[in-house]
Structure 1
Amino acid sequence: MTTAHPLRTQAEALGATLPPLLAEAQHMAATIVLGDHGRRQPGMGDAFWQFRPAMPGDSLRRIDWRRSARGDVPYVRETEWQAAQSVVLWVDGARSMAYSGARGRPPKSDRARVLALALAILLLRGGERVGLAGHTVPPRSGRAQIDRIAEGLLDDAADYGAPVPEGLAPHGRAVFLSDFLGDLAPLESALGRAADAGVTGALVQVLDPAEEDFPFDGRTIFESMGGSLRHETLRAGELRARYLDRLAARKDRVQALARAAGWQYDCHHTGQGAQLALLWLYRAMERRR
């Protein structure tokens, strides 16, 4: 009798949720019109990019005589650099991401997975290599990669997640999706290692509207999703101002860490539609260093 591998057990547990999330991601990706993705610079390739005036040192073979015949200046036909870039995704699967402040609103984990899967679909369609941090799903191209990424989005056991810097491709791109409500030291370390490797990317802080508004009053019991933290108060409303100040300071800190590493930052609420966040992410991946 064999024992099921823990990762396989977790994958089977997610079997009821990942197909709908993948279907939602595919539908959302279909709403985004694909454009040129991050390669807009001259280099080796087959795709035409632009004409430019010929300069000393250009070979005669590079001159486009048809375009040059329109005027007195010879023009060179440039092709577009088409080397695929590697994009590595880290999606926080910790228990804090399972929170939803209202019935019918998706938990943060579902929204983060949908955004990651939809972005992966878009990037793979554009010919890029996409994978997951931690060496579990190395960056690859091709349609089959989206299934590997979907299966790799497994839950963690910790209350709060920490980004995994392993597996980032040198001089590639990366995306971290999390609520970033835990210790920020691992995030700072991961961004530092990414910067040292020439990796640029984006942080997406996914929050529930209740975490932004703090709509609590009277007797309230606050408990972490894993149950390791618990606080009871009879006057929750009196905590609102201090809570909002601390949340604002945390968001500022996350944004400052992103800026210091040369990364972009966005805060997304699960009460909002996901399309705008996906479009922002896709454009963030297009940004040239």
Structure 2
Amino acid sequence: MTAATHTPRGLRREAEDHAASFPALLADARQLAATVVLGEHGRRRAGMGDEFWQYRPAESSDARRAIDWRRSARTDAHYMRQTEWQAAQSVLLWVDDGLSMQYTGDRDRPAKGLRARLLALAAAILLIRGGERVGLASLADRPRSGETQLIRLAEALTRIEGGGNHGVAQARTMPTGSRALFLSDFLGDMAPLERALGQAADRGVAGALVQILDPVEEAFPFDGRTVFESMSGAVRHETHKASGLRGRYLDRLAERKAALTELARRTGWLYHCHHSDAPAQGGLLWIHAALARTR
């Protein structure tokens, strides 16, 4: 990842590159009735829209004034002109803005936060191309579609920053029946995440958790005298035999992954762990498939 990625245009350009190989993703509404709007995109269904869909043969229960006489004049049958009732799905993105997301174990490797923002924006591109409305859980604005929204999201994602070591997951702005994508290292307190997913489940919101970890956090390759310090500097621990902590650390990490998997299962979400040294396209492919499955 280059320095240009830190700008809205740079971030979007790289996100576009990763999104280019995927077809547009239509995030079908899980609770269609709660998210029905009139618009230019979405799933076709006969209804009150202004957009022409198709003609159908008239039935005895149809009002005579609703017959399309111009189309009917071509044959001996009567035809009705059907318009579309459109359903656009709102998708909320939450990207952890905690200081822990600034960590990278190698200067040539992107920080966890940069990878999370890239994946979030690439997912937004796929969704908006499919006609969906996308927003950030941290913004007060409602989810929107279109080119202008992509620029707005890119600008917001390049300037998000939190004051604590770990961000706090948010679900209060999620519309009923919408979908969500959470990207974080999920190494902080689990309680806020459990509350957020509980609130989401109560509103019929399904989604995906993408845990982003640096390879160093997976392998714990430390030995001898080592000083561990949080990104904020608030937590500091020094040991003379770091290798002695490896087993306990890896057990705790495995427990955290198991807890995330179980939390996702209970609330109807999906969980995936993505490593910052892996190609971003692999993470985007998983997100693409996950959002298609959470219906």
Same fold (TM over 0.5): yes
Distance 1:47 1:205 in 2: 43
Question: 1:26 — aligned with what?
Answer: 16
Distance 2:192 2:154 in 1: 24
8 Å CA contact 1:95, 1:160 repeated in 2:
yes
Question: 1:280 — aligned with what?
Answer: 286
Question: 1:269 — aligned with what?
Answer: 275
**Equivalent residue for 1:199, pick from 205, 212, 223:** 205
CA gap of 1:207–1:87, structure 2 versus 1, over 3 A, is same
Structure 2 letter corresponding to 1:193: Q
1:104 aligns with 2:108: yes
Question: 2:251 — aligned with what?
Answer: 245
| Residues 43-68 of structure 1: CA deviation (Å, up to 9, x unaligned) | 338899xxxxxxxx999xxxxxxxxx
Deviation at 1:34? 2.7
CA gap of 1:58–1:240, structure 2 versus 1, over 3 A, is farther
Q: Which runs of 5+ in 1 are unaligned?
A: 1-13, 49-56, 60-77
Partner SS, residue 142 of structure 2: strand
Deviation at 1:284? 1.5
**Equivalent residue for 1:175, pick from 178, 181, 188:** 181
Partner SS, residue 286 of structure 2: helix
Distance 2:85 2:110 in 1: 40
Distance 1:215 1:81 in 2: 57
CA gap of 1:260–1:214, structure 2 versus 1, over 3 A, is same
8 Å CA contact 1:95, 1:156 repeated in 2:
yes
Partner SS, residue 87 of structure 2: coil
Partner SS, residue 232 of structure 1: strand
Distance 2:255 2:238 in 1: 23
Distance 1:15 1:187 in 2: 29
| Residues 6-31 of structure 1: CA deviation (Å, up to 9, x unaligned) | xxxxxxxx994443222111111112
1:148 aligns with 2:152: yes
Question: Which stretch shows the higher mean deviation, 30-39 or 174-183?
Answer: 30-39
Counting only pairs closer than 5 Å after superposition, residues 28-177 of structure 1 correspond to structure 2 as 28-34=18-24, 37-38=27-28, 43-44=45-46, 82-153=86-157, 154-177=160-183
| Residues 179-211 of structure 1: CA deviation (Å, up to 9, x unaligned) | 001000000000000000010000000000100
CA gap of 1:122–1:79, structure 2 versus 1, over 3 A, is farther
Distance 1:232 1:156 in 2: 26
Partner SS, residue 171 of structure 2: coil
Distance 2:83 2:254 in 1: 46
8 Å CA contact 1:84, 1:129 repeated in 2:
yes
Structure 2 letter corresponding to 1:96: S
Could you say which structure has the greater relative contact order, defined with CA pairs below 8 angstroms and 6 or more residues apart? Answer: 2
Structure 2 letter corresponding to 1:238: G
CA gap of 1:15–1:269, structure 2 versus 1, over 3 A, is closer
How high is the sequence identity, in percent, across the aligned residues? 54
| Residues 238-275 of structure 1: CA deviation (Å, up to 9, x unaligned) | 11011000000011111111111000111000010011
**Equivalent residue for 2:238, pick from 219, 225, 232:** 232
RMSD value over aligned CA atoms? 2.9
Distance 1:211 1:47 in 2: 54
Distance 1:104 1:80 in 2: 51
Q: How many residues align?
A: 255
Partner SS, residue 103 of structure 1: coil
8 Å CA contact 1:137, 1:152 repeated in 2:
no
Partner SS, residue 101 of structure 2: helix
Distance 1:273 1:243 in 2: 26
8 Å CA contact 2:165, 2:232 repeated in 1:
yes
Q: Which runs of 5+ in 2 are unaligned?
A: 30-41, 54-59, 63-81
Distance 1:193 1:151 in 2: 28
